[in-house]
């Protein structure tokens, strides 16, 4: 980021800072393509889009938050007109919950809704962490059955596959399994938070130290110590059943097993791993949770799970599950998997005019666009080679050159091969449209 310095006259800035998370044309084009692919999959699965506002009353978000730390992640401001506290969207799911509770009262169930856009979260100043998230996600509301959880996982797999991600795994957990272990332990909120943090971090030494001091039965201590190790294939569910004593935890395992069976019915069980030590959002989630990973990237491409109690905070009791995809993480995964992969192929026609009047050039550019071809005019008069260099830099496949003599044929230049061909305007449009 460049520094800011004031000019000597007029108080103008000589330099402006680089944006936080700028996407330049090539990356932005890829992001749009990935987003379009994902939204296309969601539409084919019956999910309808909603577009909640970027800025709304802070209460719409704080109702969904479970801790002061989560509330601190919001960017807030005061509406100067009304004095109300406003917040910039940090997560789409609370907004979808608000919409469903207030605007879909008479809708038949289930509801399948999807969204895409940016969210903004305050994060500690760490390199590589962006405040702005580019997301696309889906929510399935009104169904308690495990098939709904399996649909959310299967849709995640379909979205990642359509976006071009090759080898990936969906890591599946069940937070109710952990909650069942803690039932009847009578731990203080502080001790429970410390224990949950150690399990979530899979910190064996810290977990061992905590368990030595906590007043809980040895059998539970043994199970909690094993929890970070209960990860692997679907056989983990059977290993956990042999260890657990709580009916609540047994029911959670049975639910997880049914979800896995439904995912297998989709033909996608090979994408799954099971991790019962994954207890992300234990105060928010109410069942199966999942994340999608690729081996060469340390952050998840997707996070999702069941959140049956969220809509109660907005005045309506309704089971729900869903997920959101991190588009920038997904793009990074695609790049790391194939760093030498080419960007978007050049396409479209760049119109270069050497005639005194501009009407012919404008008409040709309009005709190309009408044929569905990307087209722009060179607005700067310069040597032809300079115009062709600019056209290549802008990602055009062809250049259409209008020579000075009015009524003469256009020259179609193949910007890759450098070859030229004289054509009438109609022939040029037809030729470029056929190969666009």
The confidence score (pLDDT) of residue 37 equals 95
Burial class (CB in 10 A: 0-12, 13-18, 19+), 419: exposed
Closest by Cα among 221, 228, 171, 169 to 197: 228
pLDDT at res. 201: 87
% of the chain exceeding 90 in pLDDT: 70
Q: What pLDDT, on the 0 to 100 scale, is given for residue 432?
A: 96
pLDDT tens digit string along 93-117?
A: 999 999 999 999 999 999 999 999 9
Residue 215 confidence (pLDDT) above 90: no
Write the pLDDT tens digit of every residue in 336-371.
Answer: 887 766 567 889 999 999 999 999 999 999 999 999
Tell whether pTM > 0.95: no
Residues 406 and 357 sit within 8 Å (Cβ to Cβ): yes
What radius of gyration do the chain's Cα atoms show?
Answer: 28
Taking 90 as the threshold, does the pLDDT of residue 70 lie above it? no
Does the pLDDT of residue 24 top 90, yes or no?
no
Lowest average pLDDT, out of 56-70, 97-111, 144-158, 258-272, goes to: 56-70
C-alpha triplet 42, 130, 298: angle, nearest 5°: 75
Which position has the higher pLDDT, 169 or 219?
A: 169
Report, as an integer, the average pLDDT of 264-272: 97
Confidence of residue 26 (pLDDT cuts 50, 70, 90): confident
| Range list of β-strands (E), 8-158 | 48-49, 55-57, 76-78, 85-88, 111-120, 132-141
Give 124-143 pLDDT, tens digit per residue.
655 455 688 999 999 999 99
Q: What is the pLDDT of residues 300-329, one digit of tens each?
A: 999 999 999 999 999 999 999 999 999 999
Q: What are phi and psi of 135, to 5 degrees?
A: -125, 155
């Amino acid at each position: 980021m460049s520094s800011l310095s004031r000019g000597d006259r007029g108080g103008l800035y000589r330099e402006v800072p680089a944006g936080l998370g700028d996407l330049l044309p090539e990356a932005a084009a890829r992001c749009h393509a990935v987003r379009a692919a994902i939204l296309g999959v969601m539409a084919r699965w019956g999910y309808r889009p909603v577009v909640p506002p970027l800025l709304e009353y802070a209460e719409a978000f704080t109702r969904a938050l479970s801790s002061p730390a989560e509330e601190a992640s919001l960017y807030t401001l005061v509406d100067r007109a009304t004095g109300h506290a406003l917040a910039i969207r940090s997560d789409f799911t609370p907004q979808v919950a608000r919409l469903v509770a207030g605007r879909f009262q008479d809708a038949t169930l289930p509801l399948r809704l999807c969204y895409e856009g940016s969210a903004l979260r305050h994060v500690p100043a760490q390199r590589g962490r962006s405040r702005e998230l580019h997301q696309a996600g889906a929510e399935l509301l009104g169904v308690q059955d495990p098939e709904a959880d399996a649909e959310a996982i299967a849709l995640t797999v379909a979205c990642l596959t359509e976006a071009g991600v090759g080898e990936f795994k969906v890591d599946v957990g069940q937070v109710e399994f952990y909650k069942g272990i803690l039932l009847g332990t009578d731990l203080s909120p502080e001790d429970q938070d410390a224990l949950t943090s150690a399990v979530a971090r899979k910190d064996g030494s810290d977990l061992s130290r905590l368990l030595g001091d906590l007043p809980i039965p040895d059998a539970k201590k043994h199970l909690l110590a094993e929890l970070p190790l209960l990860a692997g294939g679907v056989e983990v569910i059977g290993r956990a059943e042999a260890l657990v004593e709580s009916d609540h935890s047994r029911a959670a395992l049975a639910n997880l097993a049914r979800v896995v069976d439904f995912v297998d019915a989709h033909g996608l069980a090979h994408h799954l791993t099971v991790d019962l030590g994954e207890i992300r959002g234990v105060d928010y989630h109410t069942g199966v949770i999942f994340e999608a990973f690729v081996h060469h990237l340390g952050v998840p491409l997707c996070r999702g799970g069941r959140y049956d109690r969220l809509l109660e905070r907005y005045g309506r009791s309704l089971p729900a599950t869903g997920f959101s995809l991190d588009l920038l993480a997904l793009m990074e995964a695609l790049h790391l998997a194939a760093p030498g992969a080419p960007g978007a192929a050049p396409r479209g026609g760049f119109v270069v005019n050497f005639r005194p009047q501009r009407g012919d050039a404008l008409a040709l550019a309009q005709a190309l666009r009408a044929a569905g071809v990307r087209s722009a005019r060179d607005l700067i008069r310069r040597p032809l080679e300079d115009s062709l260099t600019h056209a290549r830099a802008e990602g055009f496949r062809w250049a259409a050159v209008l020579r000075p003599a009015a009524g003469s044929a256009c020259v179609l230049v193949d910007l890759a091969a450098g070859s030229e061909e004289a054509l009438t305007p109609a022939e040029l449009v037809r030729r470029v449209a056929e190969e666009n």
